[in-house]
Amino acid sequence: MRRFGRTTGTAAAGKAGKTGTAARTTARKTAQKTAQKLVRTAARSVPGAAIGLITAGLAVGVGELVAVWSGPQTAPAIAVGSAAIDLTPTPLKEFAIRNFGTDDKLFLLTGIYTTLALIALAAGILALRRLAVGVALVAVFGAVGAWAALSRPTSRTGDVWPSLLGAAVAVAAMVLLVRSYQAARASGEEEATTEPTATPSRLPLWAQNRRGFLALATGTAGAAALSGLVGRVVVDRRYNVALKRARVKIPAPTVRAAAIPPGAHPNVAGLSDFITPNSAFYRVDTDLVLPQVDPDAWTLRIHGMVDHPLELTFADLLARPLIEHDQTLSCVSNEVGGPYVGTARWIGAALADLLREAGVQRGADQLVGRSIDGMTIGTPVESVLDGRTGLLAVAMNGEPLPIAHGFPCRMLVPGFFGYVSATKWLVDLELTTFAGYDPYWVQRGWSKIAPVKTASRIDVPKPFARVPSGPVTAAGVAWATHRGIDAVEVRSDGGPWTLARLAQADTPDTWRQWTCDLNLTPGLHKLEVRATDATGAAQTEQRADTFPNGATGWHSVVITAI
Ligand SMILES: Nc1nc2c(c(=O)[nH]1)N[C@H]1C(S)=C(S)[C@@H](COP(=O)(O)O)O[C@H]1N2
Ligand SMILES: [Mo]
């Protein structure tokens, strides 16, 4: 095999003599030929690639249009993405949450669209060689979309239509575009190739030349864009409940929470707010499109092992005595020092009262909340009834629940991680047993019961901060939701622990902020924090993974004093 493309120095070239020059000329010619061949192959692939992309675009666009009837969650890419979320093995899911955080969904959708585009390219190129192969690929994609839509826990048969109709229209477009392109090429307006030419078909004459093909391709691309756009606009108008939410009036709570003590939040720049603003509150759920629950149509069923099954409307819920309560919510997927924790002032109806009205039967030890999207979350009945303030929450920090946080109603039970206590878009409560039913995350290996583990976090200084040497104030948060925090200690460079100053407590159900004065010599320092909860149990140093019931270990930051 001859090599080419090597650069030679002038001196070497001068000494090389005649034979060398000839060899180089041949090498250059070969290189040129190969490059030309590549360019030609690429150029020849362009029409096929374009046909593939336009066809796939049409499938997606038509799918979104059809989703106007079956709901945004049935649009092909969303259905496939949602199925992927359910099927993703836990380690990969943990990786995605860790590395992309709330952007994990954006990442997933980008991946789906990229895969679709690549396969569409291939399908188009193949279709120009063998139409049946391209058509088969599009059909397979339609089937995958339909299967994904049906795999959703709340799916209905009609949910297959966006993917099936999208694929059907795309197949028709592909056949048309391929025939037109081949006819145009056969009519001699395209360069001759060795590929099989089309048999003159039933295509109208105008579509059998280059201009006709380009018109068809442009028209199809336009139809794809238009259907997708119209689909999205109409879906938003039809399903978005933002306007209804804006009209919801939350009655004044019967039981008000005490004012947050002024001393609950030390005034240190960079320390988290005591109450996390809704816009900054972490969001963790499996939904690619936010569930849109119409409060006027909402009902909550309480059933299963109860003496009197109940069904409430949103008006019924708002008419009940409402309780205002501050609670810190945290996610089991939060790494040591991580951001998936926040505190809000919630308003809701007392969960325990409702369960008592329904009459919980003996032996029912698990309360399973089910959301409109089919998510299931199980909580120990015993804990719900032990006097803590479990809520069917309707308001968060002075406004109706944001759609992303469960509008119109979510469950909250202080003391447990969100995945075992905090069902958003709640529509159904079933009294059952732990032995008899495994909710969503338990089916995927996470613990059935997961109380919040005592945790503490250094907010200031930030990791790798450069701070002036001498006195430095560190500050942060600590939480052991429902048990409360009794002490926080800080140390630098593995030295003796210093008791941090604890800010005033709000309730045992909220985190506690702290500050600690340190004296740092110039150089690199490692700061560590640990907390003790109100039962006297110290936070363990032992590192544990988030799976299967929450991370443990001390948070540390490395900083430089200058
Ligand atoms: N319907 C539904 N509710 C859900 C979830 C979900 O995926 N779907 N995720 C749970 C998890 S894992 C957590 S940590 C909390 C997060 O609540 P937030 O998004 O309001 O912060 O909601 C819980 N409720
Ligand atoms: Mo979570």
Domain 455-561 - what CATH class?
A: mainly beta
Task: Give the least confident one: 198-202, 242-246, 257-261, 326-330.
Answer: 198-202
Decide whether any atom of ligand 1 lies within 6 Å of the 461 Cβ: no
> Looking at residues 257-271, what average pLDDT do you find?
97
Ligand 1 atom nearest residue 329's Cα: 21
Q: What's the pLDDT at 102?
A: 67
Q: What is the pLDDT of residues 10-27, one digit of tens each?
A: 333 333 444 556 777 788
Distance 203 CA to ligand 1 centre (A): 54
> Ligand 2 centroid to 278 CA: how many Å?
17
Q: What's the pLDDT at 201?
A: 58
Query: pLDDT value at position 13?
Result: 38
CA distance 127 to 416: 55
Q: What is the pLDDT of residue 7?
A: 34
The whole-model pTM stands at: 0.89
Q: How confident is the model at residue 1 (pLDDT cuts 50, 70, 90)?
A: very low
What is the CA(335)–ligand 2 centre distance, in A?
Answer: 11
Indicate the SS3 state at residue 515: strand
Burial class from Cβ neighbours inside 10 Å (0-12, 13-18, 19+) for residue 224 reads: buried
Could you tell me the sign of the dihedral formed by the alpha carbons of 472, 477, 479, 482, in that order?
Answer: positive
Q: How far is the CA of 269 from the centre of ligand 2 (A)?
A: 28
Judge: domain 262-443, CATH 3.90.420.10: yes
Q: Distance from the CA of 284 to the center of ligand 1, in angstroms?
A: 5
**Mean per-residue pLDDT over the chain, rounded:** 92
> Mean pLDDT, to the nearest integer, of 229-249?
96
User: Is 422 touching ligand 1 by the criterion CB < 6 Å?
Assistant: yes
Q: How does DSSP assign 302-355, residue by residue?
A: EEESBSS-EEEEHHHHHHSPEEEEEEEEE-TTPPTT-S-EEEEEEEEEEHHHHH
Ligand 1 close to Cβ of residue 265 (< 6 A):
no
How do residues 124-151 score in pLDDT, each as one tens digit?
A: 999 999 999 999 999 999 999 999 999 9
Q: Whose CA is nearest to atom 12 of ligand 1?
A: 419
Amino acid identity of residue 525, one-letter, is H
User: Which protein residue has the closest C-alpha to ligand 1 atom 2?
Assistant: 424
Ligand 1 touching residue 425 (CB < 6 A) = yes
Would you say the CATH fold of 455-561 matches that of 262-443?
A: no
The mean pLDDT of 292-297, rounded to a whole number, is: 97
Band of the pLDDT at 3, cuts 50, 70, 90? very low
pLDDT of the residue at 20: 59
What is d(CA 6, CA 159) in angstroms, rounded to the nearest whole number? 58
Q: In the chain, what are the domain boundaries? A: 35-239, 262-443, 455-561
pLDDT tens figures, 523-557: 999 999 999 999 999 999 999 999 999 999 999 99
Q: Where are the alpha helices (DSSP H) in 465-506?
A: none
pLDDT computed for residue 106 by the predictor: 87
In the structure, what pLDDT confidence band is assigned to residue 71 with cuts at 50, 70 and 90?
very high
Pocket test for ligand 1, best of 285, 345, 412 (most atoms within 8 A of CB): 285
Contact assessment for residue 459 and residue 332, using Cβ atoms and an 8 Å cutoff: no
Q: Whose CA is nearest to atom 5 of ligand 1?
A: 285
Average pLDDT for 49-73: 96
**Residue range 81-104: average pLDDT?**
80
pLDDT for position 501: 98
pLDDT tens digits for range 150-205: 999 889 999 999 999 999 999 999 999 999 999 998 886 444 444 544 455 578 88
Give strand ranges (E) for 366-437: 366-371, 376-380, 391-396, 399-400, 410-412, 426-432
Predicted pLDDT at 16:
41
Residue 396 has pLDDT above 80, yes or no: yes
Q: How far apart are CA 119 and CA 290, in angstroms?
A: 28
**409 near 401, Cβ under 8 Å?**
yes
Q: Is 376 in the pocket of ligand 1 (CB under 6 A)?
A: no
